[in-house]
């Protein structure tokens, strides 16, 4: 038996559109209701990775000239103009998106991507916004929020779990730990989503997402769907072939190790979280680790030894607790944070002849 879980907010409130037959594309594991479903029903996952397209119902459609929200034909999600991104990122900074959409199902996502392509708009995917620094000037094009793509599907027979791109990776870690499944204990302190974790190969405590990933479903700007195995993603330290590309992660399947005692697995998971809470600053907005570790060194050690703990530009400050964190102390701008990042890079390079590379993704003009 396969068990599927979806948050109550998944189903759109608009009039249902004609759906694509579950036998026609690899994304049919989407389940719009919070329920338990058997293999072979609407949540059954196909084994093939064929590509499909969902053309707009009306090729003549053009958005309204006025900067007002509008619905694309066949979609239940509005495309909104000039949406502030500050509240959608963990740094709490950044200007507006030219256009913003938060699809509630893969079909809405495909329709939105096709529209952006037809309009010549760049597409930027926004998960939890926890590893981003968005310019104060905002972002051109279409920003796609994945926060509603939160379906979760368990297969107890083979200890696999399939999760939508918008599922918080920390939530997934807890859910599998409660089953006694091992493999994601390290992820409980990661502030991002499944989609973001896959793209950047998130990791902690000597483990990473590539260790447990089976495959990932992606969409191209043209709306073509494909399934990629972990060997196709070119995983390296905090990067993958998806990073910097134009394909959008919609969901992924993970292989866990079953048979563990749920209480022990949960205890290990909580211990990882407690370790992060005592060594990293969670009391103020940040993006997590700002720079990649230049092996064999740790970025935090290099920054601390350069004497930069507590250094501040505007409202942005290098954390006193963990030097690889830059904090928004209340009134920081994206420019403050960016300038502080540049200063840290310059000072570390001047002393150690090592150029720190950002782990945080910098979006927009600075």
Asked if the domains at 1-279 and 282-363 fall in one CATH topology, the answer is no
Q: pLDDT per residue over 17-66, tens digit each?
A: 333 333 333 333 333 232 233 332 223 322 333 222 333 333 344 555 54
| Cα–Cα nearest to 72, from 28, 124, 123, 17 | 17
What pLDDT was estimated at residue 222?
Answer: 86
> What does the pLDDT average to over 211-216?
98
CA separation for the pair 282, 268 (Å, rounded): 20
Helix residue ranges, H only, the chain:
106-119, 169-178, 194-200, 262-279, 299-305, 334-352
Which is catalytic among the residues 92, 238, 241, 292?
Answer: 238
By CB atoms closer than 10 A (0-12, 13-18, 19+), residue 68 is: exposed
Which is catalytic among the residues 43, 75, 286, 289?
Answer: 289
What pLDDT was estimated at residue 263?
Answer: 97
CA separation for the pair 251, 226 (Å, rounded): 11
Q: pLDDT per residue over 110-147, tens digit each?
A: 999 999 999 999 999 999 999 999 999 999 999 999 99
What pLDDT was estimated at residue 77?
Answer: 94
What pLDDT was estimated at residue 6?
Answer: 56
The answer to whether the beta carbons of residues 209 and 203 sit under 8 Å apart is: yes
In the residue annotation, 359 being an active-site residue is answered as: yes
What pLDDT was estimated at residue 223?
Answer: 84
Q: pLDDT per residue over 162-197, tens digit each?
A: 999 999 999 999 999 999 999 999 999 998 999 999
Residues in the chain: 366
Tokens representing residue 184 in the block: 């994601």
Question: What backbone torsions phi and psi does residue 224 show, to the nearest 5 degrees?
Answer: -80, 130
Task: Please tell me which residue, 54 or 102, carries the higher pLDDT value.
Answer: 102
What pLDDT was estimated at residue 67?
Answer: 75
CATH class, 1-279 region = alpha beta
Question: What backbone torsions phi and psi does residue 23 show, to the nearest 5 degrees?
Answer: -85, 5
Structure confidence at residue 350 as a pLDDT band (50, 70, 90):
very high
Residue 295 scores a pLDDT above 50: yes
What pLDDT was estimated at residue 335?
Answer: 98
Question: What backbone torsions phi and psi does residue 11 show, to the nearest 5 degrees?
Answer: -75, 130
In the residue annotation, 289 being an active-site residue is answered as: yes
What pLDDT was estimated at residue 53?
Answer: 30
Task: Please tell me which residue, 20 or 337, carries the higher pLDDT value.
Answer: 337
Mean pLDDT of the chain: 85
Residue 5 scores a pLDDT above 90: no
Q: pLDDT per residue over 216-271, tens digit each?
A: 999 998 889 999 999 999 999 989 999 988 999 999 999 999 999 999 999 999 99
Peptide bond into 153 cis (omega under 30): no
Tell me which architecture the domain covering 282-363 has in CATH.
Alpha-Beta Complex (3.90)
What pLDDT was estimated at residue 49?
Answer: 30
Residue 313 scores a pLDDT above 90: yes
CA separation for the pair 89, 285 (Å, rounded): 9
Which is catalytic among the residues 107, 114, 185, 359?
Answer: 359
In the residue annotation, 119 being an active-site residue is answered as: no
Domain ranges of the chain: 1-279, 282-363
| Cα–Cα nearest to 165, from 54, 248, 223, 77 | 248
By CB atoms closer than 10 A (0-12, 13-18, 19+), residue 332 is: buried
Residue 285 scores a pLDDT above 90: yes
What pLDDT was estimated at residue 42?
Answer: 29
> What does the pLDDT average to over 298-316?
98
Residues contacting 159, CB < 8 A, separation 6+? 181, 255, 256, 257, 258
């Amino acid at each position: 038996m396969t068990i599927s879980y979806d948050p109550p907010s998944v189903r759109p409130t608009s009039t249902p559109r004609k759906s694509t037959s579950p036998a026609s594309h690899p994304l049919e594991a989407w389940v719009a209701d919070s329920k338990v479903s058997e293999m072979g029903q609407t949540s059954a996952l196909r084994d093939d990775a064929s590509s499909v397209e969902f053309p707009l119902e009306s090729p003549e459609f053009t958005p309204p000239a006025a900067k007002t929200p509008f619905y694309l034909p066949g979609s239940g999600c509005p495309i909104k103009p000039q949406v502030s991104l500050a509240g959608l990122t963990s740094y709490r900074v950044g200007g507006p998106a030219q256009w913003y959409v938060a699809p509630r199902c893969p079909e809405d996502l495909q329709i939105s991507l096709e529209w952006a392509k037809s309009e010549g708009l760049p597409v930027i995917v926004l998960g939890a916004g926890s590893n981003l620094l968005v310019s104060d000037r905002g972002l051109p094009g279409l920003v796609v929020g994945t926060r509603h793509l939160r379906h979760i599907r368990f297969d107890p027979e083979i200890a696999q779990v399939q999760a939508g791109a918008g599922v918080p990776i920390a939530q997934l870690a807890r859910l599998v730990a409660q089953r006694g499944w091992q493999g994601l204990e390290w992820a409980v302190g990661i502030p991002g989503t499944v989609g973001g974790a896959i793209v950047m190969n998130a990791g902690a405590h000597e483990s990473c997402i590539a260790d447990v990933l089976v495959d990932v479903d992606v969409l191209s700007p043209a709306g073509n769907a494909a399934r990629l195995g972990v060997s196709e993603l070119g995983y390296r330290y905090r990067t993958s072939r998806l990073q910097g590309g134009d394909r959008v992660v919609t969901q992924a399947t993970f292989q866990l190790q079953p048979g563990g005692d749920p209480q022990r697995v949960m205890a290990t998971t909580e211990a990882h979280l407690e370790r992060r809470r005592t060594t990293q600053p969670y009391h103020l907005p940040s993006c997590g680790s700002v720079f990649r570790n230049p092996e064999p060194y740790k970025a935090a050690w290099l920054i601390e030894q350069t004497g930069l703990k507590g250094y501040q530009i505007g409202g942005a400050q290098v954390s006193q607790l963990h030097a690889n964190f830059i904090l928004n102390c209340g009134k920081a701008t994206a420019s403050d944070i960016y300038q502080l990042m540049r200063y840290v890079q310059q000072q570390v390079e001047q002393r150690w002849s090592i150029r720190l590379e950002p782990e945080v993704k910098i979006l927009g003009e600075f």
